[in-house]
């Protein structure tokens, strides 16, 4: 596998590093035969932070642990949905103690090449598209909506997971059918909307709005079941807002890395390497990640 940032990967005795993405590192057991399906995968969340397709410096201290804890919590809340966590680790190498809090041992799945995006509110790129076409990803919406408005009902706007180094591409449901077939495309859409609505209700009860999120799924090669994978409902894969602030008119008081995006947008023209993040921006972002975890799980 190609690697984006293998030099930053931690050492995990008993596990072989095979890939580094912008923010996570992937390992297989040392005894995995080349090109064979591994018995399991070790996914390690780093403190790296990315925005506008760049990994930034410095990282957000503690981010890997915070997002891993949040993913685990959500997997538990959604435990009726098959997920990729490995419950029994017999026969697998131990996870080093220093990595345990930011790691997940997971099944090796046959991943679908689709990011399953669900939007419950009009924001971000969706708001920009709506202003131009009164639609989001080709789905027509009512006239007169404003930035941050709750949609009449959540919408499913899938994206094609592009090869490494390329941009993901928003696609239609019909294109999803062409990629993976009608049955699986329909199942992913229905499951994504169901999970979003369940998660949004859980968050709302805790004073948090789940504005939008993305899911990834794979097929369990042993059972054939469509299985929830990757991180789930973290502040890196979702847009969370403070409900009280939203009700008072501050519609984009988010619990994600929007602080980082806003600073970059104001201080970088996206030409050349990105600037170093100020410590104040790093600390504010870390505090928002931590606050979301506390608000949801307390």
Q: In which band, very low, low, confident or very high, does the pLDDT at 35 lie, cut at 50, 70 and 90? A: confident
Q: Give dist(CA 282, CA 62) in Å, integer.
A: 11
Element (H, E) at 203: helix 182-204
Bridge partners for 210 per DSSP: 240
Q: Which residues contact 186 (CB under 8 A, 6 or more apart)?
A: none
Q: Give dist(CA 241, CA 296) in Å, integer.
A: 12
pLDDT at 147 over 70: yes
Once rounded to an integer, what is the mean pLDDT over residues 51-58? 90
The 3-state DSSP class for residue 136 equals strand
Q: In which band, very low, low, confident or very high, does the pLDDT at 135 lie, cut at 50, 70 and 90? A: very high
Q: In which band, very low, low, confident or very high, does the pLDDT at 169 lie, cut at 50, 70 and 90? A: confident
Once rounded to an integer, what is the mean pLDDT over residues 150-158? 97
Q: What is the pLDDT of residue 124?
A: 87
Q: Which residues contact 107 (CB under 8 A, 6 or more apart)?
A: 40, 41, 84, 85, 86, 220, 227
pLDDT at 9 over 90: no
Q: What is the pLDDT of residue 164?
A: 56
Q: In which band, very low, low, confident or very high, does the pLDDT at 2 lie, cut at 50, 70 and 90? A: very low
* pLDDT single digits (tens) 241-297: 999 999 999 887 899 888 999 999 999 999 999 999 999 999 999 999 999 999 999
Closest of 60, 184, 26 to residue 113, by C-alpha: 184
The 3-state DSSP class for residue 199 equals helix
Q: What is the pLDDT of residue 251?
A: 80
Phi first, then psi: give them for residue 291, nearest 5 degrees.
-65, -40
Q: In which band, very low, low, confident or very high, does the pLDDT at 161 lie, cut at 50, 70 and 90? A: confident
Instruction: Tell me whether the omega of the peptide bond preceding residue 285 falls within 30 degrees of 0, making it cis.
Output: no
Q: Above pLDDT 70, what percent of the chain?
A: 96
Compute CA 233 distance to the chain's CA centroid, rounded to the nearest angstrom.
6
Once rounded to an integer, what is the mean pLDDT over residues 80-84? 97
């Amino acid at each position: 596998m190609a690697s984006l940032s293998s030099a930053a990967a931690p050492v995990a005795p008993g596990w072989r590093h095979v890939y580094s993405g912008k923010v996570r590192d992937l390992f297989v057991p040392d005894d995995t035969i080349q090109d064979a399906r591994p018995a399991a995968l070790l996914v390690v969340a780093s403190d790296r932070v990315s925005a506008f397709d760049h990994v930034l410096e410095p990282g957000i201290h503690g981010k890997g642990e915070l997002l891993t804890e949040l993913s685990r919590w959500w997997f538990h809340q959604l435990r009726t949905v098959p997920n990729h966590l490995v419950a029994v680790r017999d026969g697998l190498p131990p996870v080093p103690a220093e990595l345990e809090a930011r790691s997940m041992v997971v099944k090796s799945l046959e991943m679908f090449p689709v990011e399953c995006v669900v939007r419950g509110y009009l924001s971000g790129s969706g708001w920009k598209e709506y202003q131009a076409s009164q639609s989001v990803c080709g789905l027509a919406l009512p006239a007169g909506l404003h930035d941050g408005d709750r949609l009449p009902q959540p919408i499913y706007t899938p994206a094609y997971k592009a090869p490494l180094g390329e941009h993901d591409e928003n696609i239609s449901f019909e294109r999803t059918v062409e990629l993976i077939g009608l049955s699986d495309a329909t199942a992913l859409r229905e499951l994504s909307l169901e999970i979003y609505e369940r998660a949004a209700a859980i968050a709302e009860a805790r004073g948090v709005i789940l504005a939008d999120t993305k899911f990834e799924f794979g097929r369990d090669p042993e059972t054939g079941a469509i299985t929830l994978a990757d991180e789930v409902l973290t502040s890196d894969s979702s847009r969370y807002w403070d409900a009280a602030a939203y009700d008072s008119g501050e519609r984009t008081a988010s619990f994600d890395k929007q602080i980082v995006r806003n600073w970059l947008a104001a201080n970088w023209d996206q030409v050349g390497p990105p600037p170093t993040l100020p410590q104040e921006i790093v600390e504010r972002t870390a505090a928002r990640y931590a606050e979301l975890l506390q608000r949801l799980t307390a």
